[in-house]
């Protein structure tokens, strides 16, 4: 396992890169989504999987926040294979702000764009 210096504590990891504490809430798809960036995370303790596409801001009415529940989870990159996005990818740990920054550049704007990228055309 790599030397991990960055863990998921319930706040938006992308916003933390800007030194901002932004809450993540459950969305209609049961993923934790950033209120500011749309970044989505699926939880499978002790892991937090950063999905390959952003959410659409459609939150559940619950006032539950990820920061009230999670601490010290290991962040993983979500798989880019259609149908396998939520599988644990323990060989792809996000161990630092640098690796998070580069991973964010690989995200799709939404699920439709992600699916469309999987067709060979």
pLDDT digits (tens, 9 = 90+) for 77-107: 999 888 888 999 899 999 999 999 999 999 9
Token reading at 63: 């006032």
What phi and psi values does residue 113 have, to the nearest 5 degrees? -65, -40
Give the dihedral of Cα atoms 55, 8, 4, 54; nearest 10 deg.
Answer: 0
pTM above 0.85, yes or no: yes
**Residue 61's pLDDT is what?**
92
Contact assessment for residue 71 and residue 46, using Cβ atoms and an 8 Å cutoff: no
Instruction: Give the angle 111-25-74 at the CA atoms, nearest 5°.
Output: 80
């Amino acid at each position: 396992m790599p030397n991990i210096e960055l863990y998921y504590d319930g706040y938006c990891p992308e916003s933390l890169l800007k030194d901002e504490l932004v809450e993540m809430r459950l969305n209609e798809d049961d993923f934790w989504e950033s209120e500011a960036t749309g970044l989505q995370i699926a939880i499978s303790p002790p892991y937090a999987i950063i999905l390959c596409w952003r959410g659409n801001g459609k939150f559940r009415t619950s006032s539950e926040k990820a920061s009230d529940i999670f601490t010290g989870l290991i962040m993983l990159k979500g798989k880019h294979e259609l149908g396998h996005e939520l599988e644990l990818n323990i060989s792809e740990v996000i161990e630092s702000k640098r690796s998070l920054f580069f991973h964010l550049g690989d995200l799709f704007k939404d699920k439709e764009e992600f699916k469309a990228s999987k067709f060979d055309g």
